[in-house]
Chains A and B, each alone.
Chain A
Amino acid sequence: MNGSLKSNYGIWEKLTKIDRRLIYLFLFLVVLIPLIYPFRLAPRAMTPVLKLFNHIDTIPKDKCLVISVDYTPDTEPELHPMTIALLRHAFSRKIKVGILCISLLGLGLAQDAISIVTNEFNSKALTRNDSVIYGRDYVFWGWQTPVLVPILGMGENISKVFPVDYYGNKTDTLEIMKTIKNYNDVGILVSISGSAIPFYYITYAQTQFGVRIGVGSTAVQAADFYPYINSGQVTGMMSGMKGAAEYEQLVEERCKIYARRKATDAMAAQTAAHLWIMITIIIGNIGYFILRRRK
């Protein structure tokens, strides 16, 4: 009896002292296998994502969607699919879109998302009306600094904050800018960020100008934004890769846009990795309690 107990303790002791590199290797395999042999999960949209989608879906014709691309390449896997899904949604509903960056490194990513989605729409367009045209359907204002200048300045006059757009055109000569003057013409502003920039929008744009704010955040930050959803200061939110996958699902279901869904494709690997981490946590805890009892 004592011998079998001793051998049991030995197993638990070994399990709680596994080399961390071995755990990384298993995690690597657990993520890798579903990427090579994928299975698709259909994510069910949670309330914050649904609220954001519904609000954008019902933006009046005279108002626009503003997307603030405030993330950098390090958070691209989580946040880039959100920008792409928002653009698909807006263009499919003929909602005018303004895009800006407060984070400098977001410029290239914003340009990439715009290229992907405009190419998707324009490759299927039969007439000029069906096409997505720069200056008529969307505008890329570019980057402005420091953070308070664009956030407060856009409440008064967007063209003054961005006298020239990302491509060097004079902003006030663009057709779309005749209907987008300031926050009064914005149906919702969605800040997609891996940093504190959405807080600036909540504190300044929402509090002072009453503009509706949506948030696309990394999963790390998501818990910080829930109180603002509860208070109504944030209209809706996508949190992490899961939030992006839920929005992609809604865009496909309701807008009938069938295109590559980067976040959804990754959810199988995400789920497998979560299961693996849960297993290691459970094993670690059981081992800890068994060994503590022995002591």
Chain B
Amino acid sequence: MNISTNPWIWVSAILTLGIFSFLYKENPFYRVCEHLFVGIANGYSITFVWHRVLLPTLINPVAKGERLWLVPVAIVGALYFTRFIPKISWLVRIPIAIVMGYGAGASIPRAIEASIIEQLKATVITRSTFESIYTGLWAIVIFVGVIATISYFFFSRERKGVLRPLSYLGIIFIMLGFGASFGYTVMARISLLIGRLTFLLRDWLGIIK
């Protein structure tokens, strides 16, 4: 055992134990740690944006009389803060409208291409799909899975005839998907626990190498 003498390791270890204390029950120690985390993360982000974005790319050049075209852009951006002044809070709509307009224009065509068209193409079975039995079989499974799952979400007709077994098959595929997601979620959460325990045992207590 080789306990750390670094005070920052001790701070981290105490905060980690504070967060873990929630597993027993909600308590003030946990709440202090939670608020500290939120505060520090926000403080870090704000100071970083100020020093690494606003100062070098806006304030310093404009103060030197360079890139003056940024001034009206900055004023439009600053309109977000009018949210805090009820009388003129409607002005916040201007930057929101610009951001939403840009966002929608930039993303809609590409999202349709990436998430719908390309995904549809990947579902289509062609002769080349059967170059090996392995890829061919999986292509059929994917094709059937997509059709069955979509049919489960088809609510415009009563589930009778072909639609009935297809939608049941869809449920099976959906459940398989949920099962895979659950398994992965367990792995993710355990990984985080391992990460913290490794820190406590190695960096703080020096029990493991």
Contact = CB atoms under 8 A, between A and B. Distances in A.
Q: How large is the interface on B (under 10, 10 to 19, 20 to 34, 35 or more residues)?
A: 35 or more
A287 interface: no
A146 to B, nearest CB: 9
Most buried by B among A152, A233, A242: A233
A270 B48 contact: no
A43 B62 CA distance: 55
Interface string B37-75: 000010011001100110010000000000000000000
A270 B190 contact: yes
A277 B182 CA distance: 12
Contacts of A208: 110
B115 interface: yes
Q: Report whether over half of chain B's contact residues are helix, strand or loop; otherwise say mixed.
A: helix
B191 A21 contact: no
A35 B198 contact: yes
A283 interface: no
B180 interface: yes
Nearest to B196: A77
B206 interface: no
Interface in B184-209: 184-188, 190-198, 201, 207-208
Interface string B169-185: 00000000100110011
Interface stretch (B87-95, B116-124, B158-166): B116-124
Q: Which of B107, B184, B198 has its CB near the most chain A CB atoms (within 10 A)?
A: B184
A107 B201 CA distance: 26
Interface string A31-48: 110011010000000000
Nearest to B53: A145
Interface in A242-273: 242, 262, 266, 269-270, 273
Interface residues of A, number: 51
A156 interface: no
B106 interface: yes
Given A78-B188, A266-B198, A223 B181 contact: yes
A28 B17 CA distance: 13
A239 B184 contact: yes
A112 B198 CA distance: 17
Interface of B: 23-24, 41, 44-45, 48-49, 52-53, 56, 103, 106-107, 110-111, 113-115, 118-119, 121-122, 142, 177, 180-181, 184-188, 190-198, 201, 207-208
Interface of A: 21, 24, 27-28, 31-32, 35-36, 38, 74-78, 104-105, 107, 142-143, 145, 148, 152, 164, 202-204, 206-208, 218-223, 227, 230-233, 239-242, 262, 266, 269-270, 273-274, 277
A-B pairs, top 4 by smallest CB distance, nearest first, are A77-B195, A231-B122, A219-B188, A219-B184
